[in-house]
Amino acid sequence: MKKLALHWQIIIGMVLGVLFGLLFLNFEWGKAFVLNWIKPFGTIFINSLKLIAVPLILASLIKGISDLKDLSKLSSMGGITIATYIFTTMMAVTIGLVAVNIIEPGNYIAEETREQLVNAYSSNANEKIDVANSQKNLGPLQPLVDMVPSNFFNAASNNRNMLQVIFFAIIFGISMILIPPKKSLPIKNFFDSLNDVILKIIDLIMLCAPYGVFALLAAIIVESPSMDLFKALGLYSITVLFGLILLICIYLIIVRIFIGKSPSYFLNGISPAQLLAFSTSSSAATLPVTMERVKDHLDVDEEVSSFVLPIGATINMDGSALYQAVAAVFIAQAFGLDLSLAAQLGIVTTATLASIGSAAVPGAGMVMLIIVLSQAGIPEIGLALIFAVDRPLDMCRTVVNVTGDATVSMFVNKIVTKKRT
C-alpha cells in the first residue's frame, strides 16, 4: 500500500486530536484525563524538536559557512537576507494597519464585554507587562549586547538565546575559512558528519509527528477558554486572520513571479513545516523541519538554507509583526483612543523591531506587543482584552512566520545562484 504523504498524516493527526479533545470535554473527568495522559506526549514531541534546535544551528551554520570558501559571498548573502527580512516585516505591519483601520474591530466591542475581558485576564496581562518592562528598561543597544554571549555553554543551554548561538557559529565558520584548509579539515569533517547525524534524528522525530500533533491539539482544545469569549473577539481574530492570509498570498505571488515556481510546488514542499508550526506555535521548534523541507523539497542550496533559515527563525516574524499592529490598533479602538497617522507610522517601526526581538516560542509576540503599546501610548492593560484568543492566533501567525522564512530563503537562493552563473 502506498504510504500517505507526511502532511496528510499530520492533518489527520490534528483533526483527530481536535475531535478527541471535544469528545472528552463531555465527561467530567475528560479534561484531567487529556491533561494527564495525552498532553505529555505532545510535550515530549515539542521537547524533542527543541532538543535538536541548538545542535542543528551549530552544525548546519558552521558547515554552511565553511563550505563558502570566500567571505565576499557570505557578506553579500547576509546583506540580501537582512534587507529582505526587514522589507517583508514592514510590509506585514503595513498590511495589518490597513486591515485594522478598514475593518475597525475595536469599535464593535461593547463597554460591558471590554470590562469583563479586562477583569478576567488582568492578572495574566500584568505578568506579561512585568516581563516586557524588564526588557524595556535596558536601553536601546541592549539587543546588540544580548547577541554576543559571554559564555558559549550558557548560550547553548537556552533555546531563547538562539541569536547568541548563531553569532558563535558565524564567527566559528568564518575563522575556519581564514585558516589553511589543511588545518581546518578535521573540524570540517566533524561538522559535516554531525550535520548528517542531526538530519537523521529529525527524520526519526518526524515519524512521530502525527501522534505528537494529535496530543498537542487535544490538549489545546480542553484547555481553551469558553466559546463566548472567542465570539466577543471574533472580528478582531478575523482581521488578524485576513491579514495573515493576504500575506501568504503575497508570498505565493513572490514565489511565482520572482522565483518562477508554482504556488502548489511551494505549498507541497513547505506544508509539513506549516502544520508543525500550527501545532507547536514555535518557529524555533519547527526550524529543523523547515530546514529539511526547504533543502530537500524546495531545491534551495544547503549553503543558503543553513544560513538564511536559522537567522529567519529568530529575527523574521512577519506574522507576529502583523498581529502586533492589528492588536495595538484594536486595543486603542476598544478604549476609544484615536491614533494619529504619526502614531500609526510609529507602530510600523516598533512592531518591526518588536517582532525581530520576539523569541521564536509560543506567546512571545504578545510579550513584545507591550512595547508597541507603550510606545504608542495605548493602555497596556488592554492586553487583557485579547488574551482569550491569543493561542489560536499564535498558532496561525507562527505558520506565517515559517512560510515567510521559507519564501525569503528561496528568494535569496535565486539571487545567489543567478550571480554564480
If one asks whether residue 317 binds ligand ASP (CB under 6 A), the answer comes out as yes
Q: CA 276, 354, 48 angle in degrees (round to 5)?
A: 30
**CA-to-CA distance for 224 and 398, rounded, in angstroms?**
18
Q: Which listed residue (363, 379, 391, 415) binds ligand ASP by CB under 6 A?
A: 363
DSSP 1: -
In whole angstroms, the minimum distance from the beta carbon of 324 to ligand ASP comes to 8
> What is 103-142 written as a DSSP string?
H-GGGGS-HHHHHHHHHHHHHHHHHHHHHHHHHHTT-TTH
Q: Which three cell numbers stand for residue 111?
A: 463597554
Q: Which listed residue (155, 328, 339, 364) binds ligand ASP by CB under 6 A?
A: 364
By CB under 6 A, how many residues form the interface with ligand ASP? 16
Q: Which listed residue (220, 275, 351, 361) binds ligand ASP by CB under 6 A?
A: 361
If one asks whether residue 283 binds ligand ASP (CB under 6 A), the answer comes out as yes
Alpha helices in 208-338 (DSSP H): 209-223, 227-232, 234-257, 263-280, 283-297, 302-315, 318-334
If one asks whether residue 281 binds ligand ASP (CB under 6 A), the answer comes out as yes
If one asks whether residue 352 binds ligand ASP (CB under 6 A), the answer comes out as no
Of 38-46, 91-99, 161-169, 353-361: span binding ligand ASP (CB under 6 A): 353-361
Q: Which listed residue (161, 358, 375, 413) binds ligand ASP by CB under 6 A?
A: 358
**CA-to-CA distance for 117 and 399, rounded, in angstroms?**
27
Give the residue from 89, 109, 107, 134 showing the smallest Cα distance to 323.
89
If one asks whether residue 132 binds ligand ASP (CB under 6 A), the answer comes out as no
In this chain, which residue has its C-beta nearest to ligand ASP? Answer: 365
Q: Which three cell numbers stand for residue 337?
A: 483612543
Nearer to ligand ASP, 66 or 324 (CB): 324
Cα–Cα distances (Å) from 161 to 166, 167, 286, 367, 375, in that order, read 9, 10, 16, 16, 25
Give the residue from 270, 260, 263 showing the smallest Cα distance to 295.
270
Q: Which listed residue (298, 394, 404, 408) binds ligand ASP by CB under 6 A?
A: 394
Nearer to ligand ASP, 303 or 318 (CB): 318
Residues 6+ apart with CB under 8 A from 22: 221
In whole angstroms, the minimum distance from the beta carbon of 395 to ligand ASP comes to 8
Q: Are 281 and 398 in contact (CB under 8 A)?
A: yes
Cα–Cα distances (Å) from 273 to 10, 252, 323, 403, in that order, read 10, 16, 20, 8
Q: Which of residues 319-338 bind ligand ASP (CB under 6 A)?
A: 320
In whole angstroms, the minimum distance from the beta carbon of 105 to ligand ASP comes to 19
Nearer to ligand ASP, 199 or 317 (CB): 317
If one asks whether residue 274 binds ligand ASP (CB under 6 A), the answer comes out as no
In whole angstroms, the minimum distance from the beta carbon of 323 to ligand ASP comes to 6
Q: Which listed residue (398, 403, 409, 413) binds ligand ASP by CB under 6 A?
A: 398
Q: In the complex, which residues of this chain contact ligand ASP (CB under 6 A)?
A: 281-283, 317, 320, 358, 360-365, 394, 397-398, 401
